[in-house]
Amino acid sequence: MELRELRVFLAVAAERSVSAAARRLRVSQPSVSQTVAALEQQIGAELLVRSSTGVLLTEAGTVLAAEARAVLARYDQALVAVGRFAAAGDSLLRIGVPLEFPPSLLPHALKALAESDPRTRTAVRHLASAAQLDALRDGDLDLGLLRSRPPDRELDAIEVVEEPLGVLLSASQPSGPDGVRLAALAGLDWVGFPRDGSPAWYDEIAAVLRSHGLDPGPATAAGESLIPEVKFAAVSSGRAFAFAPQQWTQPLPEGIIWAPLIGTPLIRRTWAVWAADSRRRDLARLISHLESALSR
């Protein structure tokens, strides 16, 4: 049983709804359902009674909720208790962040870190996943937020956010009240990103596009900018589309709309990654704060 699973279950218990818990956690509803199902399989008992109006905890679910709260509280207490053994003096945590990261997640975690570890300073850099991975391996980053989980045994990782992606389209393109089917975008160009920045995530998108009858087209040139203005310029022509999460904070210019993708074929995941042999207490607490921010 992982701490993240317990936090997801507690969100469902608090909201009395899988869909509401998914919105609170900023992850997909199927992901929440799969987490609860995995817990039920581990325990060997139903945790929720599902109905058209929401969910109720079973007796086993009520017990697990109480135990989960106690476990998470004890975990936070343990971090505080061992924190006094950390080396005295100021320390610096170097953090890598990808473009289009959920705007509230990291600031909330950093605010909590400032309260729990006032001597820790942070330096945040915007870097592509591949650049972050190289920096982690070279010891130039303490924590990376990557679009895929690295295979390295020398690195630990937890998933911190899932974002169902929709599309940015010209307002002249047809879209129904429920959104757009990916296959309906055939004939339009995908405004992608350089593959060398995040190869695994790029290949996942390209595979999904091909499975829906779309041609990913040539890869964007290495180092080419992916700022919103580039996407807007391409999409406004009516001949291209770009992917974006619903919570994207960039204001849309006139003539461009965001629409959900029917069936949620693409979910962008972000992983917190750090050196497996790290013994930094402030890093452990930051990771804990990220998990807590996710469950809010």
Segment 186-241, tens digit of pLDDT: 999 999 888 888 899 999 999 999 999 999 988 776 555 567 788 888 899 899 99
- Percent of the residues in the chain that have a pLDDT greater than 70, as a whole number: 92
Residue 62 pLDDT exceeds 90: yes
Taking CA atoms, 162 is separated from 30, 32, 175, 279, in Å, by: 11, 11, 24, 27
Mean pLDDT over 60-78 rounds to: 85
Is there a contact between 122 and 290 (Cβ–Cβ < 8 Å)? no
| pLDDT computed for residue 231 by the predictor | 84
Domains assigned to the chain: 3-83 (1.10.10.10), 91-161+269-295 (3.40.190.10), 164-267 (3.40.190.10)
pLDDT tens string 16-26: 988 888 877 76
Average pLDDT, the chain: 86
Between 245 and 75, where is the model more confident? 245
Count Cβ atoms below 10 Å from residue 39 Cβ, excluding itself: 23
pLDDT at 31 over 50: yes
pTM: 0.68
Q: Which residue reads 């040539």 in tokens?
A: 218
Is the Cβ–Cβ distance between 135 and 164 less than 8 Å?
A: no
Residue 84 has pLDDT above 70, yes or no: no
Query: Structure tokens of 62?
Result: 């009520």
Half-sphere exposure in the Cβ direction for 226 (13 Å, CA): 22
Q: What is the pLDDT of residue 250?
A: 74
pLDDT of 90-107, one tens digit each? 689 999 998 888 877 888
